[in-house]
Amino acid sequence: MEVTLADGTKMEAEVVGADPPNDLAVLRLRDLPPEVTLRPLELGDSLSLKVGQMVVAIGNPFGFDRTMTTGVISALGRVIQSESGGFLGEVIQTDAAINPGNSGGPLLDIEGRVIGVNTAIFSPSGANAGIGFAIPAHTVARVVPELIARGYYRHPWLGIEGQTFDLKPAVARVLRQRLGLQVPDEGVLIVAVYRNSPAHQAGLRGGTRRVRLGNLILPVGGDVIVALDDTPIRTERELRLLLENRYRVGDRVTVRVVRDGKEMDVDVTLAERP
């Protein structure tokens, strides 16, 4: 891998760590000459951004190096699907022109501080259509130190991923009226809990019997997650994004569940996702 500095100096680099779910990686320059001085950009505060705030994007679109474009923050807290098939949450949307080759470049505020890392565009043609996205600086500050320290990022884990079902009012009514289950209108129904996972150790319950709903055979009778530390949860995607963006391995969270028609709080210590 090769890195070209602003003065044209070309240097070999190696990957220190990468985290595809957050579309971030860290490179280390090899054999940095003593006469070369690098000045890292300052990370800004991406948590206090406002829609309409002016931003600057710098990158290498279509091979035109050191290209600067300007625009504003169009929206905050967007959720987009990554190339790996997962979801990037809380990303910044901007109308600053971002094209193929801008990815990995900084999104700056007018003070020159990095508020995001350009990551993707939405475009039917593959070129800029005024909708670009950047990973916010607070995600960079959370992920990059772990990539440097251990080469990968530890994603927090409850122990129920892939084993849940999103309740909707119509489905909940069927479960109540036909099966007598006391479930809320919305929430994440725990179908199964992985053995020895944080959820299992905290006593969260999965389904105890199977029922057929149309073409779906669903284990029912488990807990229904309705909130995490008082933040309402309606879908598994909301649960995944909240865990990913607000918590870290080792954090203790309060999971509010509905069990047999009654709400209860269960404390869970998050582990590293296998």
Residue 222: both structure tokens together: 């488990």
CATH at 239: 2.30.42.10
CATH at 125: 2.40.10.10
- Same-domain status, 8 and 126: yes
The total number of structural domains in the chain stands at 2
- Same-domain status, 28 and 130: yes
- Same-domain status, 161 and 141: no
Range of the domain at 251: 156-272
- Same-domain status, 7 and 130: yes
Helices (H) and strands (E) in the chain, counts: 4, 19
Residue 197: both structure tokens together: 């996972």
Per-residue pLDDT at 179:
80
Where among 124, 150, 176 does a domain terminate? 150
- Same-domain status, 38 and 123: yes
pLDDT of 205 above 70: yes
- Same-domain status, 101 and 169: no
pLDDT of 253 above 80: yes
Where among 150, 178, 207 does a domain terminate? 150
Record the pTM: 0.83
Per-residue pLDDT, averaged over 201-205, amounts to: 96
Highest mean pLDDT among 145-149, 172-176, 219-223: 145-149
- Same-domain status, 61 and 94: yes
Per-residue pLDDT at 223:
93
> 177 CB contacts (<8 Å, ≥6 apart)?
none
- Same-domain status, 97 and 167: no
Task: Identify each DSSP E strand in 36-181 by its residue range.
Answer: 54-59, 67-81, 87-94, 106-108, 114-121, 132-136, 156-157, 164-167
**Could you tell me the pLDDT band of residue 48, with boundaries at 50, 70 and 90?**
very high
pLDDT of 61 above 80: yes
- Same-domain status, 124 and 191: no
Dump pLDDT digits (tens) for 255-273.
999 998 999 999 999 999 9
pLDDT: which is higher, 56 or 6: 56
Q: Which stretch of DSSP H or E encloses residue 253?
A: strand 252-259
- Same-domain status, 145 and 59: yes
Where among 121, 150, 179 does a domain terminate? 150
- Same-domain status, 219 and 133: no
Distance CA 123, CA 19 (A): 25
- Same-domain status, 190 and 225: yes
Sign of CA dihedral 101, 11, 4, 105: positive
Per-residue pLDDT at 171:
84
Per-residue pLDDT at 84:
64
